Amino acid sequence: MGAIDVAATGLKVMKDIVHTVADNISKKQAIGFKKVMMQATDLPYNTVSSPGTIANAEATEKPSGIQYGHGAKVSSTHRILQNGELKRTENPLHVAIMGAGYFGVTLSNNRIGYTRAGAFQINKDRAVTTLTGELLADGITVPDEIPVSTVEISEDGIITGIANGNTTERVEIGRLTLNTFNNEDGLIAIGNGMFLETAASGEANNTAATEGGSGKLIHKSLEMSNVDLMSEMVDLMDAHQISDALSRVMTAANEMEETLIKGK
Amino acid sequence: MRLYHKIFFSGLLVMVSFCCAGSNSTYITLSNQVSRASELKVLSNNVANAKTTGYEQDRLLFRDLNHPESRLKTNSYVYTNSVYRPEEQGDLKATGRNLDIAVVGRGYFKVLTPRGERYTLNGQLFVSNQNELVTKDGYPIASIDDQAILIPPEAEIIEIVEDGTVYVDVEETGRIGVFTFPKNFALAKEGNSLYSANIVPTIEDDYSVVSGALRASNVNMASSMSELVELQRSYEMTNSLMTELNDLDKQAVEKIMKPNQ
């Protein structure tokens, strides 16, 4: 592989980094979104002589060999799982997680999806759903006689409300549970802030909130994204600068080859 | 034979010997061009890996090569000797993720791959579904006694402290090993941020492990670009030298063919 092809692999990595930056920035306002970090790694090497081989003339071990690299590739994307900032919304059906847990949601094809976006609403049957209308796996319905505005959710997920005409007595409506994973990084994102479990993540451990590292619930708040514009801009500038350098390498390699062919 | 004939022939002799040496000089200049091309290949790989976590840049070392039977003892060719890696460390890039770790000091993490032990500077760790602390490729990272480090499934907070000890909810569960090789010992690069070695490293105590940051590539854009300019100049200069040598050869041949002019 010549210098031009090697530089091209680098350009492709830079392009993918810019793509990730664009994606992160565009989701700056998405509830519960975790920024994605792209990691690059080096491609295999062409070993002309390996370190430790016996050099003929000196009959000593060469301390180092000759290896030509083939460039770089994207190795992984992973989410930075730090909690985002909380935003107080005063909506009785908004709840944020301070910890590593996920809400379970029943998806259209009966699969369970997991989300950290705790912006809920009720549907025509007064069942609690996500903003896209999927029912919570916990199956919570706010009874007709309890106005939504009286709903309170405790740190450990117990949902209570006050029935019409009764000004003091709180009635338990249901309980929100959380799900944790052995390997949170192994979840796969399917859009709408929704994730599915995979063999890599392991099965969900369904626990009560505040137990098993799932975190406590903060009522009437939402978790904002943890995208930090400053660090995204730094990544963008880096990628831009490196792309510039790579195209200069390509031009130089091209000129050198041209000189060689023309044999001036 | 008249005098001017003698002078002419002696001059021709010098030219012819220059011409023979000339082919030698063509090869010598050519050896420079080949070296510059290899250098560019290495430089290109460095720049392509400017964003690769834990990447250490390569430099090529050249040496002169003499032909012992050569008439002209001072003639020497450029020859690629070996790759070396400057010891300067890349910057630490803060990620704010507890399981992103970096070594400060000379030392590598050990990765237990199915192909054997490998070494890396990329300290991006994950907890696998087997409850092991693994690298991005899913290979366990070795503790100081070459074992995988187990993280209990109910773990809430995983902390990695300065000497590499892993605490899960304040309980000590293992210590990530940092392995040191003798100075000037080149590990063979394997790609995928992995190195292989054919000697056994030691555990020194002159390092520290930082959690919440990754080791960035140590490629310096500015110096890479000035190297690029330098090698381009060297290539162009040698190229014009080759052209002149070629012209000399041509002139010599023409003179021999038409001695009366």
**Residue B70 vs residue A188, higher pLDDT:** A188
With beta carbons under 8 A apart, name residues in chain B contacting A52.
Answer: 198-199
**B172 forms bridges with which residues in the sheet?**
B167
Mean of the per-residue pLDDT values of chain A: 88
Cβ of A67 within 8 Å of Cβ of B188? The answer is: yes
Q: Return the closest-CA partner of residue A92 out of A147, A168, A151.
A: A151
pLDDT beyond 60 at B118: yes
How many CA atoms, within 13 angstroms, populate the side-chain half-sphere of residue B240? 5
DSSP string, B84-137: E---PPPPEEE---TTBEEEESS-EEEEEETTEEEEES--B-EE-TTSBEE-TT
pLDDT at B23: 61
pLDDT at B15: 54
With beta carbons under 8 A apart, name residues in chain B contacting A255.
Answer: 232
**Hunting for tokens 């980094």 — which residue is that?**
A17
pLDDT beyond 60 at B14: no
Of all helices (H) and strands (E), which one includes residue A48? Answer: strand A45-49
Between A and B, how many residue pairs show a Cβ–Cβ distance under 8 A?
A: 198
pLDDT beyond 90 at A170: no
Q: Hey, what's the torsion of the CAs at B233, B238, B242, B244, to 10 degrees?
A: 70
Interval A176-188 mean pLDDT:
89
pLDDT at B75: 75
User: Residue B222 and residue A126: Cα distance in Å, rounded?
Assistant: 63
Taking only the tens place, the pLDDT of each residue in B145-194 is: 999 999 887 777 889 999 999 999 888 999 999 999 887 677 889 999 99
pLDDT beyond 90 at A50: no
With beta carbons under 8 A apart, name residues in chain A contacting B55.
Answer: 42, 72
pLDDT beyond 70 at B137: yes
pLDDT at B27: 85
- B39: tokens are 């250098």
Question: ∠ CA A134-A135-A141 to the nearest 5 degrees?
Answer: 145
ipTM confidence: 0.76
User: Residue A34 and residue A24: Cα distance in Å, rounded?
Assistant: 8
User: Residue B42 and residue A234: Cα distance in Å, rounded?
Assistant: 26
Amino acid, res. B113: T
The answer to whether the beta carbons of residues A3 and B46 sit under 8 Å apart is no
Least confident of A109-123, A163-177, A244-258, B40-54: A163-177
The set of long-range contacts for A52-58, using a CB threshold of 8 Å and a minimum separation of 24, is A52/B198, A52/B199
Q: How confident is the model at residue A211 (pLDDT cuts 50, 70, 90)?
A: confident
**A206 forms bridges with which residues in the sheet?**
A179
The answer to whether the beta carbons of residues A67 and B188 sit under 8 Å apart is yes
Q: How confident is the model at residue A221 (pLDDT cuts 50, 70, 90)?
A: very high
User: Residue B194 and residue B53: Cα distance in Å, rounded?
Assistant: 11
Q: How confident is the model at residue A26 (pLDDT cuts 50, 70, 90)?
A: very high
Q: Return the closest-CA partner of residue B201 out of B104, B109, B83, B88.
A: B109
**A231 forms bridges with which residues in the sheet?**
none
pLDDT beyond 90 at B141: yes
pLDDT beyond 60 at B77: yes
User: Residue A139 and residue B36: Cα distance in Å, rounded?
Assistant: 69
Taking only the tens place, the pLDDT of each residue in A61-89 is: 566 788 899 999 998 888 888 888 999 99
- Percent of chain B at pLDDT exceeding 70: 87
Cβ of B186 within 8 Å of Cβ of A65? The answer is: yes
The answer to whether the beta carbons of residues B50 and B219 sit under 8 Å apart is yes
| A50 vs B: CB within 8 A | yes
Within 8 A by CB and 6+ apart from B90, the residues are B54, B55, B56, B215, B216, B217, B218, B219
CA separation, residue B28 to residues A112, A263, B77, B78, B227 (Å): 70, 16, 5, 7, 22
With beta carbons under 8 A apart, name residues in chain A contacting B243.
Answer: 264
pLDDT at A1: 67
Interval A171-175 mean pLDDT:
90
User: Residue A162 and residue A168: Cα distance in Å, rounded?
Assistant: 7
pLDDT beyond 60 at B17: no
pLDDT beyond 60 at A264: no
pLDDT at A57: 56
